[in-house]
Amino acid sequence: MYTLLKKEIRSFLSSLIGYITISVFLLLIGLFMWVLQTDSNVLDNGYANIDPLFIIAPWVFLFLIPAITMRSFADEKKAGTIELLLTRPLTDLQIILAKYFAGFLLVIFSLIPTLLYYYSVHRLGSPVGNIDTGGMWGSYIGLMFLGGAFVSVGIFASAITDNQVVSFILALFLCFFIYTGFDYIASFPMFGKIDNIIYALGINQHYISMSRGVIDTRDAIYFISLIAVFILATRTVLESRKW
């Protein structure tokens, strides 16, 4: 499993697409935070915080993570190597977890350079260091949970098709729906008193809670459960070849 994990990471980082994907992520975040005249511009707001990062990043993740995961199984199927992979002395779950953790580690790699934004705001504060560091780390944890959930969705989307473009579009749609779709559904008057339950089914409410810097056990359980559901769904897709 560890060997497959290294292979997946090396495969992504050895391609130009990998570096372009991560660079585009950092460029977009940097533009919104420091250059473009928007409400997210740190210099214009005059506040020593990096909250704009945690507002913008989920929307960029909607495109970044499907781009990272679209090759996971779709490329194996198209190249005809999926059967060879599945005959290795690894269970289907181990193969899925290797690809999942490879994708998750790549998401973390893309987040590490954003610590430079934290350092910049830390230095720009008056006085220097006037920033809520504890809240910032809590928000990063929430963003990693969000990224982990999107990766599990992307792996599932890649497992049900042999076309990378279809995998990307499907993962994008599913991530978008799970992130904001339940909020739209809950806003319909017909649901009345159960709207809070519908809100709780979506990622947005749990991510907003964690992005405040408060790590609630209920939010962590939600993300872990969501990741587990899609990993198990991916295993079901792979096992369907035996039916």
Question: Helix, strand or coil for residue 241?
Answer: helix
Question: Helix, strand or coil for residue 189?
Answer: helix
Write down the pLDDT at residue 145.
Answer: 93
Distance (Å, whole) CA 228 – CA 223: 9
Cβ neighbours around 185 below 10 Å, total? 16
Residue 165 has pLDDT above 80, yes or no: yes
Write down the pLDDT at residue 223.
Answer: 93
Q: What is the mean pLDDT of residues 86-107?
A: 85
Tokens describing residue 219: 């939010």
pLDDT digits 0-9 by tens, 179-200: 988 888 877 776 667 777 888 8
For 74, residues 6+ apart whose C-beta sits below 8 A from its C-beta are 158, 161, 162, 163, 164, 166, 167
Domain ranges (residues) in the chain: 2-242
How buried is 51 (Cβ within 10 angstroms: 0-12 exposed, 13-18 middle, 19+ buried)?
Answer: buried
pLDDT digits 0-9 by tens, 29-42: 888 777 777 666 66
Write down the pLDDT at residue 233.
Answer: 94
